[in-house]
Structure 1
Amino acid sequence: MGIHELPVPDGLVLRPFRGVRFTVDEPAKVTSPPYDLISDGDVRILLDTHPNNVVRLILPGMSPSSPRESGASSEPSPASRSDKPLEERYVEARDTLRAWLNSGVLAPDELPALYVYEQSGPGVLQRGLIGDVALADPARHIILPHEDVLPGPVADRLALMSTTQANLEPIFLLYDGGQSTATALVDEVASTRPPLVRARTEDGLDHSLWAITDQSEIDAVNADLRTRQALIADGHHRYATYRVLQRQEHASRTASRPLSLEPGASSESVAEALGPWDFGLALLVDSSAYPPDLKAIHRVVPALPLDEAAARAKGSWRVQDHPDLAQGLAALDAAPEPAFLIAGEGGCHLLTNPDPVQLARAMPADRSDRWNSLNTSILTEFVMPKVWGMQDDEQAVRIVHHDAEAALRLAVHMGGTAVILKPLAVENVLVVAAGGERVPRKSTSFGPKPRTGLVLRTFAID
């Protein structure tokens, strides 16, 4: 590793760490959904649920007053969701974290561990491993992103991570284990050993956590994982943030104490060169044993009234009218791709059978056929810019996860148009990512997502 180089992992590596966990009597009450799925109204509820709810760390400085439209997630950068100055908010999170550690509200586990994490409930069972994943450039095809990231959320999470010197919630990775050694151990631990913590959250899911501290078991897991490839299912902005923070930390330390590791350097020298910022908190799930639930992410275009959206679409799409959302969703479900349901005040319209000449002209020639066939690609490259004359970006478009009814409510509230999509196929996402391409922003919502607050990671304790 030269002065300006970063350490390069020799494969998929999941390192044990000393997890930091809440010591409260009702652990479910201090947890939250991932930061980017929390509306302002949710913040108020979480703050009222418990004074030590983890939302105080992941969305510092948020006020419980003046919630946005209930039930809708419009996904602004967290940095834009509070009146407090940026620096003050991140310092508040750091000070809160320190205070909770000093008071014993949060406490580190005695031994480094890989944590088995299970989510279970009606129709849901997912198990995986939480640990420190070694960071790798996507070009090495060890950890594959499938979505592009935006600078605003990365800058926000970078400020939070660098100020708190912590990873407060895990990213979500999938790999094809084929009923591997690691998966067999995960199942054995979850089936036969008592959990460290068990919590039932308001969505009806049970969350359980076990610690694997035996070095031979940890070694067996990593021997199994090393040659495998992982897909980022959720947490693209946080993974990008991990890598920016890693570069910053290495640059600052190289400037103060130049370090150069020559080829053949000892393992002790390599270990000394690595820091906690060379790893990131992650949940790793074997998708062959626990297939993910992939849901769609819908759009709301506030500046586009529904009647105008439908009228413009008639020049390039077949437009069928439906009186209500239920009938529109049934028609969308039955329609072959590409198809979109647009909805708002006055009903719904199903868009199908696009003009093939206009569609082919709009899609980029330098993209693969698979990428050009994705509904989010067609929305981003054809419908939004060519049909409606706008871009699918943070300024023009609001985002709503999963819930078509919430998207419709937000569209009606704002006098705009909801664009309801079908979820992408998991296979298409994997093929696009393996080919080195990225699907358009906010194309996928993999689940079930890990709950935030069950186990945290701080650099000083790690």
Structure 2
Amino acid sequence: MHTTRGSLGAMSAIHPIPVGWVSTGGTGAQNYDEFADDAEITALVAGNPDSMLGVEMPHRTPEAVADGLDFAAALPTAVARLRGLVDREKFTPFTESIAVYRIGESFLGMFCLVDTAEIGGGRVIRNEEVFAAKVAERTALIRALGVLTSPVLLVQASDSLRSALSALTLGEPAVSDTDRHGQTHSVWLVGPGADQDRLLAAADVGELVVADGNHRSLAAQEAGLSRFLAVVAPASSASIRPYQRLLRRLSMPVAGVLDGLRSVGCGVDAVDAPPATPRRGTVVLYAEGRTYEVKLPSVAGGTVDRIDHTVVEQLLVRQVLGLTPDDPAISYVGGDYPASWLAAEVDAGRAALAVLLAPVTVEDFVAVNLERATMPRKSTWFTPKARTGLVLADLEMPT
């Protein structure tokens, strides 16, 4: 249940981690949903068996792939792998702490626990459609491990947390980890005391928007948890990059796709240029070695209805291709992959069509949340990404 804090008696939704573990190095990894191809996960785990990806995606480890295990069948190996990491002292336990988190030079946030009851009708806004199968996998993983391994990124509009974090005097971090982009991820534990109280109070201001981890937050609800692991950060710490699509196969010729788009009000023009991220209101398609600019029609409605990702989902995916957004033929490709990578997938025959969209603006993202509307799935690629496997939280949490 909520506890009171402060002279005004405000209800607190944010808490320290009663029992947790911090990495001693080598376990940090991209989150499971940051990959366009699951084979990348297998290769990364092969190169670093200590990577938390081996726990998060047990069916994608080299051993599981060789044995043909699906997610459910591989869950016991996830439990064993995590136990092995703890036994080999790849994690150090801590109690009643929050964890200050810095990424590179610009991102400041903190690991903590947030009340699950705040999701939806409370202070935490989950703003994006999800895939039921992914939620089921994350829920099963939580129940099998008894530990939360990957945080939900929550952003607050207020900069009060940034000021409080910046005012801290920090010594040597508990752990530092470098990602594939060369950015350093550092974590400092802050136990009970005045500093922890100030940070908790600064984080517990206004609404918190799920910027990354919609599936993980819903899985916490499905698992019946009273609290979930989060990184809370001021909105100024993050930016939004493009979130693209690959159609791995098409049920009609490319010419039929283009004709279908024209029939639903789009303007379609072939261009003599490689594919690139377009301006807002235009979508770039790449297929069979050719680039096309597609001018989207004007759409009435609220902010979310006018977002390019919504229009593409309605016109291209549903009306022209006759697919649902969760069809396995569609791969959602985050902002870490450039347009040239998508084009290469098409040229190599691993995809039939690349769909490039302009990034959602921060202004539209905020407007959709204020309207309490729901963003189209896989439309906001917030960066930088919080790493999995740096801070873990035990599920034996107070209720």
Q: Same fold (TM over 0.5)?
A: yes
Instruction: Please report the TM-score for the alignment, with normalisation by the length of structure 2.
Output: 0.88
Shift in CA distance, 11/436, structure 1 to aligned 2, threshold 3 Å? farther
Equivalences for 1:313-392 in 2 at 5 Å?
A: 313-315=261-263, 316-325=265-274, 328-329=275-276, 332-333=278-279, 337-352=280-295, 354=297, 368-392=301-325
User: Which one of 346, 356, 359 corresponds to residue 411 of structure 1?
Assistant: 346
Structure 2 counterpart of 1:244 = 222
**CA offsets 1:120-156 (integer angstroms, 9 cap, x no match):** 0xxx520101111121243433000110212100110
CA shift, 1:175, in A, is 0.3
Structure 2 counterpart of 1:165 = 146
User: Which consecutive segments of 4 or more residues in structure 1 shift more than 6 A?
Assistant: none
Is the Cα contact below 8 Å between 2:148 and 2:393 reproduced in 1? yes
- Residues in 1 aligned to 2:73 and 2:315: alpha-carbon distance in whole angstroms: 42
Shift in CA distance, 184/394, structure 1 to aligned 2, threshold 3 Å? same
Shift in CA distance, 387/338, structure 1 to aligned 2, threshold 3 Å? farther
Amino acid at match of 1:308: G
Amino acid at match of 2:244: H
Identity of counterpart residues, as a percentage?
20
Structure having the larger proportion of residues in helix: 1
Shift in CA distance, 324/436, structure 1 to aligned 2, threshold 3 Å? same
The CA RMSD measured in Å over matched residues stands at 2.6
Structure 1 counterpart of 2:377 = 441
Structure 1 counterpart of 2:75 = 90
Equivalences for 1:418-429 in 2 at 5 Å?
A: 418-429=354-365
**CA offsets 1:208-263 (integer angstroms, 9 cap, x no match):** 111111322222233333342100000000000011112xxxxxxxxxxxxxxxxx
Is the Cα contact below 8 Å between 1:305 and 1:415 reproduced in 2? no
SS in structure 1 at match of 2:206: coil
- Residues in 2 aligned to 1:387 and 1:86: alpha-carbon distance in whole angstroms: 33
Structure 1 counterpart of 2:240 = 294
- Residues in 1 aligned to 2:148 and 2:345: alpha-carbon distance in whole angstroms: 32
SS in structure 2 at match of 1:152: helix
Structure 1 counterpart of 2:7 = none
Equivalences for 1:17-96 in 2 at 5 Å?
A: 17-23=18-24, 27=25, 29-38=26-35, 39-64=37-62, 83-96=68-81
Structure 1 counterpart of 2:8 = none
- Residues in 1 aligned to 2:137 and 2:46: alpha-carbon distance in whole angstroms: 25
Shift in CA distance, 369/461, structure 1 to aligned 2, threshold 3 Å? closer
Amino acid at match of 1:233: A
Amino acid at match of 2:21: V
Is the Cα contact below 8 Å between 1:15 and 1:134 reproduced in 2? no
Deviates more, 1:423-432 or 1:192-201: 192-201
- Residues in 2 aligned to 1:65 and 1:56: alpha-carbon distance in whole angstroms: 10
Amino acid at match of 1:338: G
- Residues in 2 aligned to 1:454 and 1:347: alpha-carbon distance in whole angstroms: 43
User: What residue ranges of structure 1 are gaps of 5+ in the alignment?
Assistant: 1-6, 68-80, 247-276, 361-367
Larger radius of gyration: 1
Is the Cα contact below 8 Å between 2:98 and 2:110 reproduced in 1? yes
Q: How many residues align?
A: 384
Structure 1 counterpart of 2:107 = 126
Instruction: Please report the TM-score for the alignment, with normalisation by the length of structure 1.
Output: 0.76
Is the Cα contact below 8 Å between 2:58 and 2:64 reproduced in 1? no
SS in structure 2 at match of 1:395: coil
Is the Cα contact below 8 Å between 2:17 and 2:113 reproduced in 1? yes
Is the Cα contact below 8 Å between 1:19 and 1:457 reproduced in 2? yes
Deviates more, 1:225-234 or 1:35-44: 35-44
- Residues in 2 aligned to 1:226 and 1:46: alpha-carbon distance in whole angstroms: 37
Structure 2 counterpart of 1:224 = 202
Shift in CA distance, 22/16, structure 1 to aligned 2, threshold 3 Å? closer
Shift in CA distance, 194/454, structure 1 to aligned 2, threshold 3 Å? same
Does residue 202 (structure 1) correspond to residue 180 (structure 2)? The answer is yes
Amino acid at match of 2:363: E
Amino acid at match of 1:352: K
Structure having the larger proportion of residues in strand: 2
CA shift, 1:415, in A, is 5.4
- Residues in 1 aligned to 2:296 and 2:78: alpha-carbon distance in whole angstroms: 50
Is the Cα contact below 8 Å between 2:281 and 2:295 reproduced in 1? yes
SS in structure 2 at match of 1:394: coil
